[in-house]
Amino acid sequence: MTQILIKNGYVFDPLNNIKGEVMDIAIKDGKIVDSRNLNPSEEITIIDAKGKIVMPGGIDIHSHIAGPKINIGRLMRPEDHYMTNVPGEFPYIRAETGLSTPNVFKIGYEYARMGYTLAAEPATPPVMTRHTHHELNDIPIIDKMAYVIVDSNWILLDLIANNDPKLLAAYLAWVLKSTKTYSLKLVDPGSDFAWLLQGRGLDIYEQIPVYGFTPADIVKNVAEAAQMLNLPHKVHIHCNKLGFPGNYATTIKTMELSSKVHKMTEGPAMHITHVQFTGYKGDSWSTLESGGEDIAKVLNSNPDVTLDLGQVIPGRSVTTMTGDAPFEYVLYHLTRNKWYSSDVETDGASGIVPYKYKEKSYVNTVQWVIGLEITLLVQDISRVFIATDHPNAGLFTDYPLVFSWLMSKKAREETMKKLSQKALKKSALPAIDRELTLYDIALMTRASPAKLLGLENTKGHLGIGADADVAIYDIDPMNMDLSKDYNKVIQGFRKAWLVIKNGEIVVRDGEIINPLVTGSTYYASPEVPVSLEKDLYKAIYNKIKQYYTITYESFIIDEKELLKSKVMNLRTSLG
């Protein structure tokens, strides 16, 4: 196996409290080791990272990279692929195409080029997850995982109505195990059911038709089941009323639910995702204002909640795709271009609509402001994660831009010149002076995502025993002012100088040199007592037959269908 020694770099490793110190990192057999353990009689690749920063591989907790909706996005947007084709290189480097709906190879290569080594697909309907895994298998280089959508599926609603928390937890464990997914996702909880029956969405305390309880009950029940199952990443919530002015109140109400969840394990009880889309104040699009300040206040006072941004990139043409069908219906009627709407058996509904964020637009400027405001006003930034909700608000390749806005007031001011001044006048952002440091960026993109996903033993740090996923960027914090030279920061993070995955060098000077490295797919496997499993089998076997087009047996995805998998066995409190 390869032995690598990285010398002279400025190391940023928040989990081990290393803040830009010059130190050596030794790698052997795909793990970080003490440099004394390298075998001098075998070949050692020495990398001189003088004047460069060394960080653990980046982790993206929310990026739509695989599954049926991505594929339909690719089909319905041929215009997204024009002029983006990069031919492959014989024999191993595959062709790349697409911007907001890239092909699988481009996804893997671009993440690697940015020094990211793990990405999570945040929404896959249970019955469609086999497709998701087939696509994840084809994404090269990076590690990946998927969160399964469990918000409006009929069996779940039946079980909540029966009021048997243990059986519900056993069902969710069965869904995770049989679909080989990592965490639970709630998309606009309860709304899909109302959408399918009545063509409307629901607010958090509105009643779900037929069942009679509210989306808040779904959030509470699933969050409590996640506590029982001891999931590392408990529950990933896309709030109700997403994309409607005035929805910041709904978001705050959802965040407040976390205090009602009965806690059994450590870690934050819930994660609010792409908060930018659910942080709108005002009662119509013309009076829209940022609710960022209010959300930041609630986050500061509530340690049980984490959130990611869904940062909008002005000027970017994107493809919005979400399991929130009522919102896509509204968005289609705003854009009048094309719309895909789908009803995934009894799991929920989804939609896809292309959209462009215009720089001069009042609404789009407010959206841009919200994400940055929240990050810069929050005290504990380890509970805020950088994401563009790729490809909904921006592309994952735009992360370096987001870093530059967070790290440099000058970069924000330059961008603000191009945006709607009317919107900026009403916002707090122009007055904020805070500038984040490289350490903060390492914390937000490496250490805290690893902790959030419960992978802090092997991922997100460079201590001994960690997986050898390392990114080295050509940014010299000693000899340049990061706040002024923000363009160099963007370039540096966009194309990493060197990236190591599984102990192999995969990227050098921003180019892929070793595309044959494959990452693993992580999935959670909570332990369920045999007697409870038997009860569950009795309760759902016939329902699956009745509700789905496939049977109980076909529903289960075999371990063999995953190219390379890593299972997280979890001890639960069900026994």
Partner 1 sequence: MPVNYYIKLKDNPSVLIDARSITPDSFAGKKINEILLLKILEGGKPIALQDLFDVEGPSEAPKDPGEIAIIIEKSITKVSFIGYRMSKGSITINGDAGHFIGYKMRGGNITIRGNARNYLGAKMKDGTIEVFGNAGHWIGAKLLGEKPGKGMKGGTITIHGNAGSEIGSGMKGGTIIIDGSAKNSAGNYMTGGTIIVKGNGGLYPGLRMSGGRIVINGSVQALLPSFYVDSIIQPLKVKGITFSKSFMSFIGDALIGGHGVLQVSYDDNKELLEEFRKLLV
Binding site for partner 1 (CB under 8 A): 76-80, 82, 87, 337
Q: Radius of gyration (Cα) for the chain, nearest Å?
A: 23
Going by their DSSP bridges, the two strands 348-356 and 317-322 should be labelled as antiparallel
Nearest residue (CB) to partner 1, 76 versus 544: 76
In the complex, what is the shortest distance from the CB of residue 80 to partner 1, in angstroms, rounded to a whole number? 8
In the complex, what is the shortest distance from the CB of residue 336 to partner 1, in angstroms, rounded to a whole number? 8
Q: Angle at Cα 61 formed by Cα 56 and Cα 64, nearest 5°? A: 125
Cβ atoms of 211 and 169 closer than 8 Å: no
In the complex, what is the shortest distance from the CB of residue 332 to partner 1, in angstroms, rounded to a whole number? 13
| Per-residue burial over 546-560, b = 16 or more CB atoms within 10 Å of its CB, e = otherwise | ebbeeebeebebeee
Nearest residue (CB) to partner 1, 301 versus 337: 337
In the complex, what is the shortest distance from the CB of residue 81 to partner 1, in angstroms, rounded to a whole number? 9
In the complex, what is the shortest distance from the CB of residue 458 to partner 1, in angstroms, rounded to a whole number? 41
SS3 266: coil
H or E stretch covering 307:
strand 305-308
Q: Angle at Cα 365 formed by Cα 418 and Cα 277, nearest 5°? A: 150
Cβ atoms of 409 and 330 closer than 8 Å: no
Beta pairing partners, 498 = 472, 508
Of 261, 278, 479, nearest in space to 370 by CA: 278
SS3 502: coil
How many Å apart are CA 127 and CA 149, to the nearest integer? 10
In the complex, what is the shortest distance from the CB of residue 88 to partner 1, in angstroms, rounded to a whole number? 9
Nearest residue (CB) to partner 1, 291 versus 351: 351
Nearest residue (CB) to partner 1, 76 versus 196: 76
Nearest residue (CB) to partner 1, 75 versus 210: 75
Task: Say which residue the tokens 């062709």 belong to.
Answer: 95
Q: How far apart are the first and last CA of the chain?
A: 42
Return all residues near 385 (Cβ < 8 A) that are at least 6 apart: 61, 62, 306, 307, 308, 309, 444, 445, 448, 449, 452
How many Å apart are CA 124 and CA 132, to the nearest integer? 7
Give strand ranges (E) for 37-91. 45-48, 53-56, 58-60
In the complex, what is the shortest distance from the CB of residue 264 to partner 1, in angstroms, rounded to a whole number? 50
Task: Say which residue the tokens 């994309």 belong to.
Answer: 243
Nearest residue (CB) to partner 1, 211 versus 339: 339
Nearest residue (CB) to partner 1, 86 versus 264: 86
Nearest residue (CB) to partner 1, 90 versus 266: 90
Nearest residue (CB) to partner 1, 89 versus 283: 89
**Residue type at 443 in one-letter notation:** L
In the complex, what is the shortest distance from the CB of residue 73 to partner 1, in angstroms, rounded to a whole number? 11
> CA distances (Å), 73 to each of 120, 316, 507, in order?
18, 16, 29
Cβ atoms of 239 and 253 closer than 8 Å: no
In the complex, what is the shortest distance from the CB of residue 340 to partner 1, in angstroms, rounded to a whole number? 13
Nearest residue (CB) to partner 1, 73 versus 351: 73
Nearest residue (CB) to partner 1, 101 versus 514: 101
In the complex, what is the shortest distance from the CB of residue 90 to partner 1, in angstroms, rounded to a whole number? 11
In the complex, what is the shortest distance from the CB of residue 78 to partner 1, in angstroms, rounded to a whole number? 4
Asked, as a colleague might, if the bond just before 232 is cis with ω within 30 of 0, I would say no
Cβ atoms of 353 and 338 closer than 8 Å: yes
Question: Side-chain half-sphere of 532: how many Cα atoms within 13 Å?
Answer: 19
In degrees to the nearest 10, what's the CA dihedral of 292, 295, 299, 301? 120
Asked, as a colleague might, if the bond just before 400 is cis with ω within 30 of 0, I would say no
In the complex, what is the shortest distance from the CB of residue 98 to partner 1, in angstroms, rounded to a whole number? 12
DSSP code at position 205: T
Nearest residue (CB) to partner 1, 82 versus 205: 82
